[in-house]
Chains A and B, each alone.
Chain A
Amino acid sequence: MDKHDFVIRFAGEGGQGLVTSADALARAAAHAGYFVQTHSTFPSQIMGGPASSQVRISTTPVLSSGDGVDVLVALNQYAYDHHYEDLNPGGVTVYNAEEYDLPEGGHYFGIKADELAKSTGNARAANMVTIGAVAHLIDFNLKEIDEFITQRFTRGREGDEEIIEANIKAVRLGVDVAKSTGFTVGQLEAPIPPDYDQIVITGNAALSMGAVAAGLDFYVGYPISPATTILVWMENNLWGKNRFVHQVASEIEAINAILGAGFAGKKAMTATAGPGFSLMSEGLGLAWMAEIPLVVTSVQRGGPATGLPTKSEQSDLFTSMHPAHGDIKMPVLAPGSIEECFYAGALATNWAERYQGPVILVTEFGLAERGENIRRPNLDDVSTESRTAVSDGDTDKRYDSWDGTTSLPGMPTPGGPGAYVANGSEHDEIGDTTHLPHHHIRLTKRRFKKVDLLGGAHYEIENAEADTIIMPWGSSKGPAREAYDRLREQGEDIGWLYSVALNPLPEDVKDVLKSGKKIIVPELNYLGQWSAILRMEGYSAESITQYTGMPFRPADLVASIGERIGTGVTT
């Protein structure tokens, strides 16, 4: 039977090459013209512990990590015990027969990958034996794997050819084992290769690239899962004249350093996750109060406290929008796909300059570390905005009253005209402290009014006439979209609403919300944070929540949304 997508999962222990296997298969498939998405889950430790890495291969762009698994490679008994329930009907397990045995008669077969690899003369080719078995099960074109092996191991070294030959042989040995069992999970349809240049990239790398494309020139950060790879990316790429990148001593240092840099004229960012974001609270308040352009990327994980450092959760929305004491509502961008991560990285940088203030860019573990093949963005299409400068005759308007009817007065830069004090105390036009009511009133209004300047983020509205509208945010977009498509195919009359910008919401999105339809928000938290915010703003919204540390499965959403439409049950 032809199928248009498959999920292959490698499960075992951290350090067994699970990610490498999934990645190899993903790259071979992407190269063949398929769309791929990887997803890994591992414990918060350097080596060992139960882990898994999977790839979804499809003839159309992949929206989520899918429902179940078609082929499970289980490298130990624990992995089998904990993953076999995820198998789709007809799914097959390939188990590590050197490690354990399963009773005869199940939908599985054992393979002695190490032993077979040794027989090729290259003991390190065990992964390729397994990949060969998987390739046979999904009827994947072996030529693509051969080409993958040839390219991967052609490194201009002596012995390249032998390594290539051994690996190709290993694949064939795996194929033979699978073939002898008679198992198959169906045939992967031929790919429809896209006619544009593609990149294979993770969410964190895409976001970093987007920010730099918009002119980011100052980055400091402190290691924390799952935001560390942004720091590492910057340390490897943010070099050159007038750029600065550095690892600092804490998240408190990070936020305050970008405050100084943003004040001094730089386009500055830091990235962190829950615990670090909590430490940045006071600094974010200062950035809002003193109107300093900067971007803080918050890569969500499970919370509170240390919580689930390497799992999926969307429970930091409240704190992203209201991170500090006082009257504050931060601009928030929450991309929902790898491609959106790129453009949100760029837009966040531009927003900070445009409205002279802090911007929060919220992503999530599942988005940050998964790999996907996407269209290569054209960097010439990325706009770069810079704060308006001030001229010599116009130097006392730094904190002018501003009602939005004129363009925002410029922001002086040290070394230029218009010296002032960026003040965290309430202040007058040039930043002198004053606590008189009229200054607090006029500047509070100014700080909120400025947020209206922020637009241009991607949004989607479909079938808005329906009585019920699905409105996911951030990383739950993919699985929600898949569920929405299936429900529509089933003939359900539901609508779709999605916005990368959560504050401020685009007017078109607000218009749909104002129409009084029932809004259903699938989100990965207990409180139903986005629907609570929507209700606070006067809209009718309820959540479908999940707090397992894992992303939604589209099938689960189809069921839970179906229940809401059918019964009108509310949480």
Chain B
Amino acid sequence: MSKRNPEYDFAWCPGCGDFGVRRALQVALEGYSVEHEEPQRNNVIVAGIGCSGNMVHLVEGEQPFGIHGIHGRTLPIAFGVKMGRPELNTVVVAGDGDFLSIGAEHLGPAANRNVDITAVIMDNGVYGLTKGQSSPTSEFGAITTSTPLGKIEAPVSPLKNYMAMGVSYIASYYSSKPRVLAKVIQEAMNHRGFSIVHVQSPCTTYNDTYDILKGKPREGIKGLAYDIPEEHNPYSEAAALDILNQPGIPLGVIYKQENTTLQDRYEKLQERAPQRTNDEILDTYLLKI
């Protein structure tokens, strides 16, 4: 978008993980559109507030529709888009602060509804745009501008939270391999129901975790990130919980569940719902005893 608008006054820092996520999201959106023979304008990106929210303006190629709304409210906005226009591919992009702190209250309802949207969460463990405050996923004891003596809250475990709330598709990845990430995001878009792709997307300015995630293989230091073994059965809740209870950052699809979506359930209700014209509704109020 910046090509069309030289005045656009937002840029990610060099090396920001969100660049990789952007590449992956573009490939996934294009792939999804080709796969379903739909124009790009059938995609809607609902963005949160923060560095990651600017994704909606920074995606290159043909512009999808987007909403750059309010801090923490991506899920209810996306719910409104999807239930108003079920045929639109609706994708949320948000950061860990937006999604897991101010917006945490919307996770449960979205999961209970199994509303058919995909959330791509960029987790950098810090509030970057406001210059380095503690976020829900910052480690215990983390020194940040808002916790100068160390963070005294336990960090949120996003994947365990998603699992506990009943999110029907949970994947975890990092920003460093956009092509693989694109496939995971596209699969999440194809999943019928509420899907979350939780991406470790390091902040090079305030919380550079590249080395911690990937390690330093040449120096023999192992990173936290590891590929989920191929034999993992994502349809097994027990297997998913096993992964979640391991240390480290799993890369891949952790959990999948086939379930009806809110749209499916709503269409069932429509079959038994009263189908009255406006005049018929009004006539129920006619003066009679």
Instruction: Name the contact of A264 in the complex, choosing from B40, B56, B57, B81 (C-beta under 8 A).
Output: B81
When distances are taken between beta carbons in the complex, the residues of chain B under 8 Å from A290 are 67, 69
- Please count how many residues in chain A sit with their CB below 8 Å of the partner chain's CB atoms: 72
Q: Which residue of the partner chain B has the closest CB to A377?
A: B282
When distances are taken between beta carbons in the complex, the residues of chain B under 8 Å from A248 are 76, 79, 109
Do A433 and B70 touch (CB < 8 A)? no
Do A421 and B66 touch (CB < 8 A)? yes
Do B67 and A263 touch (CB < 8 A)? yes
Chain B: interface size category: 35 or more
Give the distance to chain A from B70, nearest Cβ to Cβ, in Å.
5
Is B34 in contact with chain A by the CB < 8 A criterion?
A: no
Interface residues of A in 428-449 (CB under 8 A from B): 428, 430-436, 439
Chain B binding surface SS class: mixed
Is A570 in contact with chain B by the CB < 8 A criterion?
A: no
When distances are taken between beta carbons in the complex, the residues of chain A under 8 Å from B285 are 199-201, 205, 209, 376
Is A467 in contact with chain B by the CB < 8 A criterion?
A: no
Do B81 and A263 touch (CB < 8 A)? yes
Is A307 in contact with chain B by the CB < 8 A criterion?
A: no
Q: Which residue of the partner chain B has the closest CB to A258?
A: B80
CA separation between A417 and B93, bound complex, in Å? 23
Do B109 and A249 touch (CB < 8 A)? yes
Give the distance to chain B from A427, nearest Cβ to Cβ, in Å.
8
Interface residues of A in 148-201 (CB under 8 A from B): 148, 151-152, 197-201
Do A260 and B67 touch (CB < 8 A)? yes
The 9 closest A-B pairs by CB, nearest first: A260-B80, A257-B80, A256-B76, A261-B84, A239-B273, A199-B285, A421-B66, A260-B81, A151-B289
Do B5 and A432 touch (CB < 8 A)? yes
When distances are taken between beta carbons in the complex, the residues of chain A under 8 Å from B279 are 379
Give the distance to chain A from B171, nearest Cβ to Cβ, in Å.
24
When distances are taken between beta carbons in the complex, the residues of chain A under 8 Å from B85 are 264-266, 414-415
Is A425 in contact with chain B by the CB < 8 A criterion?
A: yes
Do A218 and B4 touch (CB < 8 A)? no
When distances are taken between beta carbons in the complex, the residues of chain B under 8 Å from A439 are 7
Instruction: Name the contact of B289 in the complex, choosing from A28, A236, A237, A249 (C-beta under 8 A).
Output: A28
Is A506 in contact with chain B by the CB < 8 A criterion?
A: no
Do A256 and B80 touch (CB < 8 A)? yes
Q: Which residue of the partner chain A has the closest CB to B282?
A: A209
Question: A435 with B5: in contact, given A151-B289, A249-B106 (CB under 8 Å)?
Answer: no
When distances are taken between beta carbons in the complex, the residues of chain B under 8 Å from A257 are 76-77, 79-80, 83
Question: A432 with B42: in contact, given A260-B80, A376-B282, A419-B63 (CB under 8 Å)?
Answer: no
Q: Could you tell me which A residues sit within 8 Å of B by CB distance? A: 27-28, 30-31, 147-148, 151-152, 197-201, 205, 209, 212-213, 218, 220, 236-237, 239-240, 244, 246, 248-250, 252-254, 256-266, 268, 282-283, 286, 290, 373, 376-377, 379, 412, 414-417, 419-425, 428, 430-436, 439
Give the distance to chain A from B66, nearest Cβ to Cβ, in Å.
4
Is B288 in contact with chain A by the CB < 8 A criterion?
A: yes
Give the distance to chain B from A185, nearest Cβ to Cβ, in Å.
24
Give the distance to chain B from A392, nearest Cβ to Cβ, in Å.
11
Do B67 and A253 touch (CB < 8 A)? no
When distances are taken between beta carbons in the complex, the residues of chain A under 8 Å from B105 are 249-250, 252
CA separation between A369 and B79, bound complex, in Å? 31
Q: Which residue of the partner chain A has the closest CB to B272?
A: A239
When distances are taken between beta carbons in the complex, the residues of chain A under 8 Å from B88 are 264, 414-415
CA separation between A200 and B220, bound complex, in Å? 81
Give the distance to chain B from A239, nearest Cβ to Cβ, in Å.
4
Is B65 in contact with chain A by the CB < 8 A criterion?
A: yes
Do A424 and B42 touch (CB < 8 A)? no
Beyond contacts A282-B70, A419-B63: 5 other A-B pairs, Cβ-Cβ < 8 A, are A147-B289, A152-B289, A249-B105, A423-B68, A431-B68
Do A253 and B106 touch (CB < 8 A)? yes
Is B276 in contact with chain A by the CB < 8 A criterion?
A: yes
Question: A415 with B282: in contact, given A147-B289, A252-B73 (CB under 8 Å)?
Answer: no
Give the distance to chain A from B264, nearest Cβ to Cβ, in Å.
14
Instruction: Name the contact of A268 in the complex, choosing from B84, B273, B282, B288 (C-beta under 8 A).
Output: B84
Do A260 and B76 touch (CB < 8 A)? yes
Do A424 and B70 touch (CB < 8 A)? yes
Is B54 in contact with chain A by the CB < 8 A criterion?
A: yes
Interface residues of B in 76-102 (CB under 8 A from A): 76-85, 87-88
